Structures are given as C-alpha cells and as structure tokens.
C-alpha cells in the first residue's frame, strides 16, 4: 500500500443528502486525484489537486467539489447526492516528474 | 474526451497458459502504465513505460510501449490462479491539456482475467 487511506470505505445514504469522502496520504506527495469507477467506464477523473489549495476539474466534475487545505488531505464532496453518483470512488497520489499514480482501496458509495 | 481502447474485455484461460492484452489510442502518449485490480481493492501498478519501443518485465509480466506511441501491450506468461483480476492500461497523453506538470492519466476500460486451475 502506498500510504493512502480512504474513509469511509462504505457508505449508504439517501438522495439529496451531502456526502464527504476523505483521502489521507502519508507520502507527502504533491498531486492528488479523485476518480470514480463504474462498469464499462473504467476509471474517470473527477477532480485533481496539484498543491495545497490548488485544484482543477476532471472529465466528470459536475455535482462534485473538492478541497485541499493540507498536503495530506484531499476531500471530495457531493453537495446533494443523486442516484447517478452511486459508484466506487478512488483516490490516487503522485509526485512531479511524469511519475505514476498510486491508488487507495476505494470507497463504495450507494445513494438510494 | 480521449479514450483508450483496451482488448479483450475478458479472458477465461487455463492455468499455465500465456495471456496477451493491449491498449490502443488515436492520440500519442508520453507514458503507458499497466495496473491490476483485485476485488475490493484499488489498482496496483505493475509496469511503467516511458519511451517508445521500451520493453519492460516484472516477473512473468512483460509490457511494451509501441513505437508509434499510440499503443501498448501486456503479456503474462504461465498464468497462475492469483493472476485473476482486472487489468487496466493507462496513458499520459502528450496533448496540452493532459499530463505535463500534473501527471493526469487516461484509463482503458479493463480486461477481466479468469484463470481456471
């Protein structure tokens, strides 16, 4: 494991409720990413961060926001969860210089 | 957005057989990566490729960065039951909106490998 902890690992919630997922790393890596994984789509980038307070959108960012106030923590928030956001969410980290990304073990989120 | 075509989608083989899977793109990539994902876990990096034509091995796994920079393949020799899982390719496009300072990746849709003892 690359020193990445995602919490919670599982969550069931109702449509319309806010949800925050946390990614915590102990590697002091500069770059952090949030992906969702759905059958037939592989991994799709939601948002990413290239430093504290520096974030940008990925290809599927609608309905999601992120924050990074410390190097080690990257939060993903669903302001008002919808059933289409039921998915498995993965956090990844990387360092500058064309280095590969390393992944956490994911959060399985079900929105009823 | 940009996509990677990964094939085959699934493979069902006997233990001891060799396996080959590949990824292709319509765009040029700077980096190709291969990951394996076990159930309930995140993808784990198997092999990273950084130069066109590069051939790299990791135990029974061998991967190559295509000379056109638009494809890559992964071979697994003498498969064993623990090779079961989903294999993903990922690439860093050379286009301006990707990669570079942020190491963003595009992922294939995965190859499900089942190995029968």
Note whether B105 contacts A50, CB cutoff 8 Å.
no
Tens digits of per-residue pLDDT, B34-89? 999 998 899 999 999 999 999 999 999 999 999 999 999 999 999 999 999 999 99
Tens digits of per-residue pLDDT, A88-102? 999 999 998 778 999
Least confident of A16-20, A88-92, B93-97, B103-107: B93-97
A contacts of B99 (beta carbons < 8 Å)? 98
Contact A55, A66 (CB under 8 A): yes
Bridge partners, B31 (sequence order): B92
Would an 8 Å CB–CB cutoff place B104 in contact with chain A?
yes
Pairing mode, if any, of strands B55-58 and B106-107? unpaired
| Residue B20's pLDDT band (cuts 50, 70, 90) | very high
Bridge partners, B64 (sequence order): B55, B73
| Residue B99's pLDDT band (cuts 50, 70, 90) | low
Residue A99 pLDDT: 86
Give the residue among B88, B86, B89, B78 at the shortest CA–CA distance from B13.
B78
A contacts of B101 (beta carbons < 8 Å)? 50, 96
Q: How many contacts (CB atoms, under 8 Å) link A and B?
A: 63
Residue B50 pLDDT: 93
Residues A68, A59: Cα–Cα separation, whole Å: 19
Percent of chain A with pLDDT over 70: 98
Residue B95 pLDDT: 67
Would an 8 Å CB–CB cutoff place B96 in contact with chain A?
no
- Average pLDDT over chain B, rounded to whole? 91
Residue A40 pLDDT: 79
Note whether B103 contacts A100, CB cutoff 8 Å.
yes
Closest residue of B to A42, CA-based?
Answer: B109
**Tokens, residue B3:** 């996509």
Q: In the predicted model, is pLDDT for residue A1 greater than 80?
A: no
Note whether A48 contacts B104, CB cutoff 8 Å.
yes
Residues B92, B33: Cα–Cα separation, whole Å: 9
Note whether B103 contacts A101, CB cutoff 8 Å.
yes
Tens digits of per-residue pLDDT, A26-64? 999 999 999 999 987 889 999 999 999 999 999 999 999
Residue B101 pLDDT: 61
| Residue A9's pLDDT band (cuts 50, 70, 90) | very high
Tokens 């008002």 belong to which residue? A80
Residue B98 pLDDT: 54
């Amino acid at each position: 494991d690359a020193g990445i902890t995602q919490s919670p690992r599982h969550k069931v919630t109702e449509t319309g409720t806010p949800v925050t997922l946390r990614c915590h790393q102990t590697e002091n890596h500069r770059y952090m990413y949030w992906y969702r994984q759905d059958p037939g789509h592989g991994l799709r980038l939601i948002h990413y961060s290239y430093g504290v307070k520096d974030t940008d959108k990925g290809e599927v960012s609608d309905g999601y926001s992120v924050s990074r106030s410390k190097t080690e923590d990257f939060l993903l928030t669903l302001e008002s969860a919808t059933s289409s956001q039921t998915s498995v969410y993965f956090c990844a980290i990387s360092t500058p210089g064309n280095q590969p990304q390393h992944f956490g073990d994911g959060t399985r989120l079900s929105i009823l | 957005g940009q996509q990677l075509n990964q094939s085959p989608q699934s493979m069902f083989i006997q233990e001891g057989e060799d396996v080959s899977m590949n990824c292709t793109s319509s765009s040029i990539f700077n980096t190709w990566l291969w990951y394996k994902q076990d159930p309930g876990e995140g993808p784990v990096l198997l092999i990273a490729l950084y130069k066109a034509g590069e051939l790299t091995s990791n135990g029974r796994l061998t991967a190559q960065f295509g000379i056109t920079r638009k494809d890559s393949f992964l071979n697994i020799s003498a498969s064993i039951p623990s090779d079961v899982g989903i294999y993903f390719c990922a690439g860093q496009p050379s286009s301006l909106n990707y990669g570079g300072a942020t190491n963003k990746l595009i992922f294939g849709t995965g190859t499900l490998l089942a190995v029968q003892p």
